[in-house]
Copies of this chain bind each other. A is one copy, B any other.
């Protein structure tokens, strides 16, 4: 089937629908926009029904509803759960937009509006592709379920419990997340892993009050020196983490994975200039991508104590504080990592220190998809075919807790296939999406569903 031509014929109506959905103020962070988020959910539900999807429901989940629908008429074939979200980031600061955030403008092959690249375009691509396949063939090559949420931008708080309570409804063989990115305009990629996260705060106290350095200097513990001494035991000068057991659960990279990373171009000078760093600093024996994508980290996010004002205050601070977060890789368990750090801190606690360690509330397990997983192979082949070039197999140093949540709850991996680019100002003023990527995306989804039949 010549999907490219078929979709091209719908270009105008697809653009019209994109404009329509982008015009809805579905800002999930804004409590006054609860009705707008619901309106977006209702719009999506209506659109799913129009596409021929069955069992469409708008289901209340916390402050914002999610939308479910399915089309389960391919017995013996795999079931694919397509994930996305219809909520968007706040548009502020409004004055930096060249045109109003919710009044889409098409210019130079781009559509400008809040939510264009993140991710109303990607959501529509998946719906259009399914609709057109049904229209053209009267069936779908796989069983399809949709789950679109309205609170991704506020952390998907209620999605986990909803999934946990609806194993049967959402059961599937593979999740396809439409919330993804291309690597470049002409280069697809597949995100193979996201890091987990955990964190803690260290509060130390060495005396009942700050002390005068002229009276006590040299004779009593200084909370800042003791904190510096303690923190200096956590990493070596390159960033190798010195906490006993920290790396024990890390699955080391295979040579295939390292080769895949090495395929991805890296321009060191451009990388350094883009963020204004003088040197790459990281664990010996690993490339920058390996460090950022596949090695666990321990970073000081904040340290403070004593006097921060102008001039001099000859004080011996009695209190000092540090905030630490770790990014974790498979198969590190956040609780185990936290326990090993706590044990390290207790073991290295300097003299005269009263220490309190508080675990951060949020934590996430790392997520990793095997490179030889059939979903990866199939998605990779489809991307190669449509783009005419190999996809990069890359990772995310950040955390996307929903992928691990899906894996834990539904026992299925997630392949992310989306068409934004990282220069398209997601979360910033003048967000946009390239319309050629929007159009190409439809073909990718149609081909992907066709090929997933052999999953």
Contacts and interface: CB of A to CB of B under 8 A. Distances in A.
A181 to B, nearest CB: 13
Given A221-B277, A304-B308, A311-B361, A299 B229 contact: no
Contacts of A350: 237, 281
Contacts of A398: 212-215, 314
A288 B219 CA distance: 6
Interface stretch (A76-84, A99-107, A203-211, A250-258): A203-211
A390 interface: no
A292 B225 contact: no
A299 B225 contact: yes
A295 B218 contact: yes
B217 A281 contact: no
A404 to B, nearest CB: 15
Q: How many copies does the complex hold?
A: 2
Given A323-B307, A350-B237, A397 B361 contact: no
A276 B229 contact: no
A308 B321 CA distance: 9
Interface in A281-337: 281-283, 288, 291-292, 295-297, 299-308, 311-318, 320-321, 323, 325, 327
A395 to B, nearest CB: 11
B212 A275 contact: no
A94 interface: no
A301 B354 CA distance: 19
A110 B412 CA distance: 83
Interface in A2-51: none
B302 A306 contact: yes
Nearest to A233: B232
A323 B214 CA distance: 16
Given A207-B275, A219-B280, A220-B281, A320 B301 contact: no
A281 B276 CA distance: 40
Contacts of A218: 239, 282-283, 291-292, 295-297, 327, 397
Interface in A360-386: 360-362
Contacts of A321: 308
Interface in A130-183: none
A222 interface: yes
A279 interface: yes
A399 interface: yes
A351 interface: yes
B327 A220 contact: no
A195 interface: yes
A208 to B, nearest CB: 3
A305 B281 CA distance: 19
Nearest to A278: B352
A235 interface: yes
A224 interface: yes
A217 B303 contact: no
A302 B299 contact: no
B311 A208 contact: no
Interface in A419-453: none
Contacts of A303: 224, 227-228, 303-306, 320
A357 interface: no
20 contacts: A208-B276, A211-B275, A212-B398, A214-B327, A214-B399, A215-B397, A220-B280, A224-B300, A224-B303, A225-B299, A237-B351, A302-B305, A302-B315, A303-B320, A304-B305, A304-B308, A308-B321, A311-B360, A312-B323, A312-B361
